[in-house]
């Protein structure tokens, strides 16, 4: 299998740049997946905050099940990810509809997505209802060692997306700010 467990302390690195995510949930024996852009790292362990709005079907599943998988798709999945974001899981089995392959996670019931670059199993820590913010804690990190396309993409909010370009290396300037194991 392409997805391999990697050290959990590297997981925040996949979210800090702000890529578009796929989030899987499981409810009533059925897997669902949604597209999500509104997320941030809140600590290195890692903990993350996410929000979409309570109108969302997957969001309701996540609140009920208290677990999910945050997956980082690469550029090859871009159109699929946008299409996933445009239909509700209430009506459609999105895994079948969009040709995604479910893989069994270790610490949660929601599935990994084999076609993604990275997946993080997460437990819900808290729901801050006033702002519809969910706090998640990462429990198991999976990296797709066989994937050639490593560029992710970021939503601009107007239907356009920006793809990862060049890399800058400023490690020498900020060495004492980089957490252990990274």
Is 180 a binding residue for a copy of itself by CB under 8 A? The answer is no
Closest CA to 23 of 76, 82, 60, 72: 72
- Cα–Cα distance measured from residue 28 to residue 20, given in angstroms and rounded to the nearest whole number: 26
- Cα–Cα distance measured from residue 12 to residue 46, given in angstroms and rounded to the nearest whole number: 6
Residue from 6, 63, 78, 97 that binds a copy of itself (CB under 8 A)? 78
> Least distance from C-beta 59 to a copy of itself, angstroms?
13
Of the candidate spans 25-33, 101-109, 115-123, 159-167, the one that interacts with a copy of itself by CB under 8 A turns out to be 159-167
> Which residues are 22's β-sheet partners?
35, 71
Using CB under 8 A as the criterion, what x/- string covers residues 5-24 for binding a copy of itself?
Answer: -------xx--xxxx-----
> Least distance from C-beta 15 to a copy of itself, angstroms?
9
> Which residues are 24's β-sheet partners?
33, 69
Size of the site for a copy of itself (CB under 8 A): 60
Q: Find the binding residues for a copy of itself in span 112-141 (CB under 8 A).
A: 126, 128, 130-133, 135
Residues in contact with 169: Cβ distance below 8 Å, sequence separation at least 6, in sequence order: none
Closest CA to 135 of 146, 127, 147: 127
Is 45 a binding residue for a copy of itself by CB under 8 A? The answer is no
- Cα–Cα distance measured from residue 165 to residue 127, given in angstroms and rounded to the nearest whole number: 35
Rg (CA), the chain: 16
Is 66 a binding residue for a copy of itself by CB under 8 A? The answer is no
> Least distance from C-beta 26 to a copy of itself, angstroms?
24
Footprint of a copy of itself (CB under 8 A):
12-13, 16-19, 37-43, 47, 49-51, 53, 78-79, 82-83, 85-86, 126, 128, 130-133, 135, 151, 153-179, 182
């Amino acid at each position: 299998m392409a997805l391999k467990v990697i050290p959990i302390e590297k997981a925040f690195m996949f979210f800090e740049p702000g890529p578009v995510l796929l989030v899987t949930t499981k409810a009533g024996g059925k897997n669902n997946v949604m597209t999500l852009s509104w997320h941030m790292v809140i600590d290195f362990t890692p903990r993350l905050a996410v929000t979409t709005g309570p109108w969302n079907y997957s969001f309701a599943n996540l609140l009920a099940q208290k677990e999910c998988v945050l997956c980082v798709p690469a550029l090859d999945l871009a159109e699929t990810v946008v299409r996933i974001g445009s239909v509700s899981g209430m009506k459609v089995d999105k895994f079948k509809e969009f040709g995604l392959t479910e893989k069994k996670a270790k610490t949660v019931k929601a599935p990994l997505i084999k076609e993604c670059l990275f997946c993080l199993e997460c437990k819900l820590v808290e729901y801050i209802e006033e702002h519809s913010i969910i706090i998640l804690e990462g429990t198991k990190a999976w990296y797709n060692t066989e994937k050639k396309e490593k560029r992710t993409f970021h939503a601009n909010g107007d239907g356009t997306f920006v793809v990862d370009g060049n890399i800058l290396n400023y490690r020498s300037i900020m060495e004492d700010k980089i957490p252990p194991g990274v």
